[in-house]
Each structure stands twice: as structure tokens, then as C-alpha cells.
């Protein structure tokens, strides 16, 4: 039997007594490899190595960090088909998804490398005024961080995903708490990171990867006094629990948690009159994409009662029924989907729109759409819940006023979408759209919410409970802002300043330079 181990820096270790195996959800059977959960000693070693590595890595030149990130991407690609086979075996996701997610993962790493070479990410600011203090500021890394792997993205949001890539770009050593659903995939990617670290001369401890089947390892890492921040993608329950643990430390630390969202979609009357079939088909595909296991899954569709809305709902249900059910990530996730779905379907006042009597394989999810009137939706919060899977609620509102009331009643969301075919209609819904903007991190016009572009302008976050801090994103280049803090240098000799703040600016970094005429001193 093969065994899966923990990377404590560049050393493979298996000291823990607790073991577990991953599941092949497609086959509904255990995979062969036996993984060892990290012991208390291994946790302490990994964090101690990260703390020591920070002394070097936190001050290393950006160009060297960029070379490291590029090397990680190359080493992940060098894992070849074996990585993709392990990914598929542990997730039940298809080969096309595996290929696409690998490309996204390596693309993120290379994007952060490009950002580092350009240099302006440090936000260097110089304020100089004759007779006043010389004030200069830039961002510096905060120290070792813990990253929790996500269940639904074994590559792009896990071991070397966006959280890890952005933290390493910032100059922070990373300890990954690998997700137990894809521990084999995680170990392979960890081996690529370690190879890249050695190849580019990074300090030992800049990266570690720890396995666990329960919550104990994650709790111990968040509680460790040397950890300075946490990145998490998962459930509201898990994210809020970590936030409480971090807040109750002797020295509290931030938890950047991306949690839950039902991603409301406003279908305006003009669309229903002219493009109903087009958007019904698009949203049928979006609801079942990835078996509904995307955090941006459109779980709530809102429209004003009309014959056209009824027609849209009919087409949406027909199109969803045409699509074949697909495998979920794990038997426990399938069980959770059925539990949450049953809770919603146990309420009164809704209308079932899709077929419920299809035979499906174990761990496959039957997609479902229901409709409910606006007054019932407002009275019964169960219909507001996120059902993680291919499930969506269509709300039939009486009028614009009730639509606005529903928007105001919603919790914070990752996305909000407007479907519109006539810009003249915007004025009638201006207040509704403004209120929706105040609830979301990304406002979409005439598209689907599934699919999150990795770029400098992306916001993947939103007001609580979509994320724990709406000022930050977990996707895109500005994700690096989570792992840095500003430091101001006052009246320092030029040659002792960080290069980005020196007058001669040897790095050629874009900076904000202000010769202030007047200055108020507090």
C-alpha cells in the first residue's frame, strides 16, 4: 500500500497516528493511498521553519520571487498526466475540467510573477516638502500564513492556488492545510512547489503541506502564535469558526474567508420579451456547471410576475431536464446537498419545475429548480439558503417595490447579475440595481456569474457572509493585498531605504511622488 505524507519544508514526514484515505466519487470507493494526518510535532516544525524562512524570504528581491513562482508553474506542468489522473480519481470531475483548472493554476502563478517584475504592487509613495518631514511608504509582507485547500477546486484554490500564489508573491511563507478530499493531488502539487523552491534557492520552510481528515490540524495552525493570517475558501460554518478562533488569540489575526453566496440574478422585463429562450438556456447550463459546486452558482433568479416570466421558467426547466446529472465531489458533499435540498423542499408554498423521478448513480446530483412567490420568499428564510449543488430558486415578484424589498432583505453576496435588453429600462430599476450593488462584490451585466476571470480588476469577495472582509478579493492580482501591511519611513537616508523608495529608484518602479505645498500635522 502506498502512503501519503506531509511536507515539513522539504522533508516528507509521517509521524501522525491518524490515517485516512480519499474517495473516488465516480466509483464510490476508497482510493488506495493511506494518508497520515499531521501530528502536533509536525505542525510545530512546519510553522517554526516558516518563521525562520520569513527572515530571508520576507526581504528577498521581487525578481527572485517571480522566478520561484514561474518555476512552480513549470514543475506543476512537469507532473503531466499523472497529476490529472489523480485529480480525476479524487474529485469525480472530468478530464476537461482537470486540464482547464491546471491551466488556471499555472496561469495565476505566472500572472503574479509578472506583477512582481513590474513592481508597482508595493504601492510606493513619497511625500517631500521643504522644511517638513520626508515621508515615504510601501507595503511589506506580514509573515507566515496558513492556507486552507478548497474542496471544489483541487488545483486553482488549493495547494498552489490563488491564495498560496498571492501569499508567496507578497513575501509570506505558506503552510497549507491540505483538503482531505484530494490529499493525493495536494501532495503531488506540494512536491512541485518544493522542487521549485530548491531550484530557485528559496529558504527551506517557505512552503509546507500538512494533511488532515478532521478539524484539529487547522485549529492548531490558526491558534499558533507565529501565524499572521489565514486564507480559507469553504462553508459559512467553517469560515466563521476560523474567524472566531483567530479573534480569540492573544494577538488576533485576520482570516480572509470566502464563504457562501446564492448570487442573485435580476431578469428585467425587456429580456423576458425579447431574449427569454437564450437566457433560459444559458442559465440552465450555468446552474448545472460543475454539478453546481461553484461558489458563483446562480442559486436565486428574480423576476416580476408576467406571462413572459412564466415562459422563461418553463424553458429553463425544460433545458435543465435535458442535461445529464453529474458526479459530485464526495459522498459527504452529495449527502449535504440532499439534506439542504430536502430542507428547502420540506417548506410549503413553492412549485416544483424540474423532474424528480430520474434514476441517478451514487454520488450523482439531480438538478432542481423551484419557483416561489415574492411574499413567501420574504417570510420564509429557508428559501434564502445556499444549497451547494445544482439547485436554484426562481422568485416571482409582484412588482418593482417587492423586488427591491427582496434585494434589501438579502445577505451579502459574491455576485449580482442584471439581465437587460433595453437600456431605457435602467431608469425604472435604478434604485433596485443600486441596492444590489451594495450587497455584492461583482456586479454583472448580461452574463452568467459562473466563471471568475483572473485579472487585476476582479473582485471575488463581498459583504458578509460572502466573505469575512469585503475590502479584499481571493482572485486576481489584488489578492496580494491580504498578505501585506503598510510601513512608513520618516527622514531616512536614501541609501538605507528599500529600493522602491529611493530617490534614484534603481528598480524603475512606478511610484506616487508628491511635493506637498501645505501639510497638516496631527
| pLDDT tens per residue across span 131-165 | 999 999 999 999 999 999 999 999 999 999 999 99
Active site residue 258: yes
Active site residue 386: no
Helices in 129-215 by DSSP H: which ranges?
Answer: 162-170, 183-199
DSSP SS3 for 304: strand
Q: What average pLDDT does range 264-273 have in this prediction?
A: 97
Question: In this predicted structure, what is the pLDDT of residue 2?
Answer: 86
CA angle 307, 308, 310 (to 5 degrees): 65
Cis preceding linkage at 465, omega within 30: yes
The one catalytic residue in 26, 51, 90, 295 is 295
DSSP, res 467: B
The one catalytic residue in 42, 258, 308, 405 is 258
User: What is the longest distance spanned by two Cα atoms in the chain?
Assistant: 80
Residue 468: pLDDT band (50, 70, 90) is very high
C-alpha cell, 188: 503531488
Q: What percent of the chain has pLDDT over 90?
A: 94
Question: In this predicted structure, what is the pLDDT of residue 515?
Answer: 57
Q: What average pLDDT does range 228-254 have in this prediction?
A: 97
DSSP SS3 for 511: coil
131 or 206, which is more confident:
206
User: Cell numbers 434564502 label which residue?
Assistant: 384
DSSP SS3 for 429: helix
C-alpha cell, 471: 475590502
Residue 519: pLDDT band (50, 70, 90) is very low
Residue 221, CB-side half-sphere exposure with 13 Å CA sphere: 34
First to last CA, the chain: 67
DSSP SS3 for 348: coil
Residue 438 sits at φ, ψ, to 5 deg, of -75, -10
For residue 72, is pLDDT > 70?
A: yes
- Inter-axis angle of helices 162-170 and 62-78, to 10 degrees? 150
pLDDT tens digits, 314-372: 999 999 999 999 999 999 999 999 999 999 999 999 999 999 888 999 999 999 999 99
Cβ contact 98:84 at 8 Å:
yes
For residue 518, is pLDDT > 80?
A: no
pLDDT tens digits, 8-45: 999 999 999 999 999 999 999 999 999 999 999 999 99
Q: What average pLDDT does range 256-280 have in this prediction?
A: 97
Domains and CATH numbers, the chain: 3-21+37-119+139-259+473-482 (3.40.605.10), 264-445 (3.40.309.10)
Alpha-carbon torsion (285, 291, 297, 302), positive or negative: positive
Rounded-to-10 torsion of CA 126, 57, 231, 12 = 170
Cβ contact 257:245 at 8 Å:
no
**Measured distance CA(154)–CA(160) in Å, rounded:** 9
Mean pLDDT score of the chain: 95
Which residue from 385, 289, 395 is spatially nearest to 342, judged by alpha carbons? 385
Question: In this predicted structure, what is the pLDDT of residue 513?
Answer: 73
C-alpha cell, 506: 534603481
Question: In this predicted structure, what is the pLDDT of residue 509?
Answer: 67
Residue 375 sits at φ, ψ, to 5 deg, of -65, -35
Cβ contact 219:245 at 8 Å:
yes
Cβ contact 472:479 at 8 Å:
yes
For residue 229, is pLDDT > 70?
A: yes
Residue 172: pLDDT band (50, 70, 90) is very high
DSSP SS3 for 4: strand
**Measured distance CA(77)–CA(337) in Å, rounded:** 33
pLDDT tens digits, 423-466: 999 999 999 999 999 999 999 999 999 999 999 999 999 999 99
Question: In this predicted structure, what is the pLDDT of residue 520?
Answer: 40
Which residue from 219, 420, 393 is spatially nearest to 316, judged by alpha carbons? 393
Q: What average pLDDT does range 244-256 have in this prediction?
A: 98
Cβ contact 313:371 at 8 Å:
yes
Label residue 71 exposed, middle or buried (CB < 10 Å: 0-12, 13-18, 19+). Answer: buried
Q: How far is CA 335 from CA 243, 363, 386, 387, in A?
A: 26, 8, 15, 12
Q: How far is CA 103 from CA 99, 107, 108, 212, 412, in A?
A: 6, 6, 8, 27, 30
DSSP SS3 for 368: strand
Residue 186: pLDDT band (50, 70, 90) is very high
**DSSP β-bridge partners for residue 139:** 486
How is 90-106 classified by DSSP, letter by letter? Answer: HH---HHHHHHHHHHHH
Q: What average pLDDT does range 41-56 have in this prediction?
A: 98
pLDDT tens digits, 404-413: 999 999 999 9
Cβ contact 218:242 at 8 Å:
yes
Which residue from 348, 325, 349, 321 is spatially nearest to 337, judged by alpha carbons? 325
Q: What average pLDDT does range 212-239 have in this prediction?
A: 97
Residue 389 sits at φ, ψ, to 5 deg, of 155, -175
Q: What percent of the chain has pLDDT over 70?
A: 97
Query: H/E element holding 377?
Result: helix 374-379
Question: In this predicted structure, what is the pLDDT of residue 146?
Answer: 98
Amino acid at each position: 500500500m502506498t502512503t501519503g505524507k506531509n511536507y515539513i519544508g522539504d522533508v516528507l514526514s509521517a509521524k501522525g497516528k491518524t490515517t485516512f484515505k480519499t474517495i473516488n466519487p465516480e466509483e464510490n470507493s476508497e482510493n488506495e493511498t493511506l494518508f497520515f494526518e499531521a501530528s502536533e510535532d509536525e505542525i510545530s516544525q512546519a510553522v517554526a521553519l516558516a518563521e525562520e524562512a520569513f527572515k530571508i524570504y520576507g526581504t528577498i528581491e521581487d525578481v527572485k520571487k517571480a522566478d520561484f513562482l514561474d518555476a512552480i508553474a513549470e514543475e506543476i506542468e512537469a507532473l503531466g498526466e499523472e497529476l490529472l489522473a489523480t485529480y480525476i480519481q479524487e474529485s469525480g470531475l472530468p478530464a476537461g475540467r482537470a486540464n482547464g483548472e491546471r491551466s488556471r493554476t499555472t496561469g495565476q502563478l505566472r500572472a503574479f510573477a509578472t506583477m512582481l517584475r513590474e513592481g508597482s504592487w508595493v504601492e510606493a509613495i513619497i511625500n517631500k516638502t521643504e522644511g517638513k518631514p520626508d515621508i515615504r511608504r510601501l507595503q511589506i509582507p506580514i509573515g507566515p500564513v496558513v492556507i486552507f485547500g478548497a474542496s471544489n477546486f483541487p488545483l486553482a484554490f488549493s495547494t498552489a492556488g490563488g491564495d498560496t500564489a498571492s501569499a508567496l508573491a507578497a513575501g509570506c511563507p505558506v503552510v497549507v492545510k491540505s483538503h482531505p478530499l484530494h490529499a493525493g493531488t495536494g501532495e503531488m502539487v506540494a512536491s512541485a512547489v518544493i522542487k521549485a523552491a530548491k531550484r530557485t534557492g528559496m529558504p527551506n520552510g517557505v512552503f509546507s503541506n500538512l494533511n488532515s481528515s478532521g478539524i484539529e490540524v487547522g485549529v492548531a495552525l490558526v491558534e499558533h502564535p507565529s501565524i499572521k493570517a489565514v486564507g480559507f475558501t469553504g462553508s459559512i460554518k467553517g469560515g466563521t469558526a476560523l474567524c472566531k478562533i483567530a479573534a480569540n488569540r492573544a494577538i488576533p489575526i485576520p482570516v480572509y474567508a470566502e464563504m457562501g453566496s446564492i448570487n442573485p440574478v435580476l431578469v428585467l422585463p425587456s429580456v423576458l420579451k425579447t431574449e427569454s429562450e437564450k437566457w433560459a438556456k444559458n442559465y440552465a447550463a450555468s446552474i448545472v456547471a460543475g454539478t453546481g459546486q461553484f461558489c458563483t452558482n446562480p442559486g436565486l433568479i428574480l423576476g416580476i410576475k408576467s406571462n413572459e416570466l412564466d415562459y422563461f421558467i418553463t424553458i429553463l426547466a425544460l433545458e435543465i431536464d435535458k442535461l445529464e446529472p453529474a458526479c459530485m465531489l464526495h459522498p459527504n458533499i452529495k449527502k449535504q446537498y440532499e439534506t439542504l435540498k430536502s430542507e428547502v423542499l420540506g417548506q410549503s408554498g413553492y412549485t416544483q419545475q424540474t423532474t424528480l423521478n430520474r434514476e441517478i448513480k451514487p454520488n450523482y446530483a439531480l438538478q432542481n429548480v423551484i419557483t416561489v412567490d415574492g411574499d413567501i420568499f420574504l417570510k420564509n428564510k429557508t428559501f434564502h439558503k445556499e444549497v451547494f449543488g445544482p439547485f436554484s430558486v426562481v422568485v416571482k415578484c409582484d412588482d418593482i417595490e417587492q423586488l427591491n424589498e427582496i434585494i434589501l432583505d438579502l445577505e451579502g453576496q459574491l455576485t449580482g447579475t442584471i439581465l437587460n435588453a433595453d437600456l431605457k429600462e435602467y431608469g425604472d430599476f435604478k434604485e433596485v440595481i443600486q441596492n444590489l450593488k451594495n450587497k455584492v462584490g461583482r456586479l454583472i451585466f448580461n452574463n452568467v456569474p459562473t466563471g471568475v476571470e483572473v485579472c487585476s480588476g476582479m473582485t471575488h469577495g463581498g459583504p458578509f457572509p460572502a466573505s469575512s472582509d469585503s475590502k479584499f478579493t481571493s482572485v486576481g492580482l489584488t489578492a496580494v493585498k491580504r498578505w501585506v501591511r503598510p510601513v512608513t519611513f520618516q527622514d531616512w537616508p536614501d541609501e538605507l531605504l528599500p529600493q522602491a523608495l529611493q530617490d534614484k529608484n534603481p528598480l524603475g518602479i512606478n511610484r506616487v511622488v508628491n511635493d506637498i505645498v501645505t501639510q497638516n500635522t496631527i
